[in-house]
Amino acid sequence: MKEQSERLYGLDHLRSLAIILVLMYHYRAFRHPVWIDSVGRFGWTGVDLFFVLSGFLISSQLFKEIENKETISLNIFYTKRFFRIIPPYGVTLLLYFTFPFFREREALPPLWKFISFTQNLGLNVIDQGTFSHAWSLCIEEQFYLLLPLFLLMVKRIKLFQYIAVLIILLIPFSLVLRFFMWNQFLVSADSNSSEFWRLWYMNIYYPTYARLDGLGIGVLIGYLMQYSSVFKRFVRRHGNKLFFLGLVLLGVSFWVCNEQASKEASVFGFTLVAVSYGILVMSAVSESSFFYRFRCYATTQLAALSYAVYLSHKGIIHMVQTGLDYLGVQTSDNISLMICFFACIGGGLLYRYLIEKPFSRLKYRLLNSSHK
């Protein structure tokens, strides 16, 4: 238990980084200081970091359970995921569909697409962009649903030892599909038109098949850390080198993705970003890394709030800026930005104590009663 607890500090730094990147990226859609345009332009990669973290953490849990029990308890896994994800998400949906003043934009996709976690498929963000950031949650829910079933199937048909190969094949699969979609839908489109962006988001950015890089990298690291002593020993010995290698490769990734919707970024950029963040995750779980040993109360708390902040931040920023406008307060300066940031933290705290903690207690009562 001690090792697992310590490992979380390094991962908490990354989770905090991910939510800060997302906040800066989305804040550009509101009135903002000029510097946010430059600093926040690569904030979209925060979602890719979340994907790598989810792939690593969830797969690590499942691989350990398979190693110890030879199977996966689907009932326990899905119960834990349900009570972690659904209550805060359900409250956010209630706010969006019941209280129009919470909406940062006008038009919402149909409710059934949110409930079925298929909102990311065919999402027309130009015309139905309200709560558009739920697209990444849809992909994660699809991942949570399918990964344990996939692992059990692979184990049943005696191919479990080839999982690393299957995952490695999955990553170029996404890359090839993005290449195909670019040539199919975007090669002749005017890159300055709203139609180009609508097609790019619908066919390149939001679909599940196009975003398997981060999840796949995370699962691959989780598998190798569980089953490869050579890989695990390498990670443990070279934590700081991995950290700096990850930063360098991330810089290269940002260079490739300088124009987010270019062909190079669309086809290769997502993969490079995922690999970069994967290397940083390896550093974060390496006992030899300063990143692993460094403890910070702020990142621990922000990491704990990251899911709630992710769900609610657009609505909160919209309401705060509307309120500041009503009071005649400037909304495009640094003071307004800090007010919005702390309002998002406050919203995350409300989610934690009014929603997440009560449902967490209910979850453990149900799980404990099922074992009696």
Average pLDDT over every residue of 202-214: 94
Structure tokens at 47: 């979602």
Q: For 312-321, how does the pLDDT look when each residue is reduced to its tens digit (9 = 90+)?
A: 999 999 999 9
In this model, does residue 2 exceed pLDDT 50? no
Q: Which of 350, 272, 336, 348 is nearest to 16 (CA)?
A: 348
Sign of CA dihedral 109, 115, 117, 121: negative
pTM: 0.95
Provide the pLDDT for residue 57. 96
In this model, does residue 371 exceed pLDDT 80? no
Residue pair 83/360 in contact (Cβ under 8 Å)? The answer is: yes
Average pLDDT over every residue of 353-358: 97
Other C-beta atoms closer than 10 Å to the C-beta of 154 total 15
Distance CA 91, CA 258 (A): 36
Residues contacting residue 150 through CB under 8 Å, at least 6 positions apart: none
pLDDT range class, residue 4, cuts 50, 70, 90:
very low
Mean pLDDT, all residues of the chain? 93
The three state secondary structure string of 129-192 is CCCHHHHHHHHHHHHHHHHHHHHHHHHHCCCHHHHHHHHHHHHHHHHHHHHHHHHHHHCCCCCC
Average pLDDT over every residue of 16-24: 97
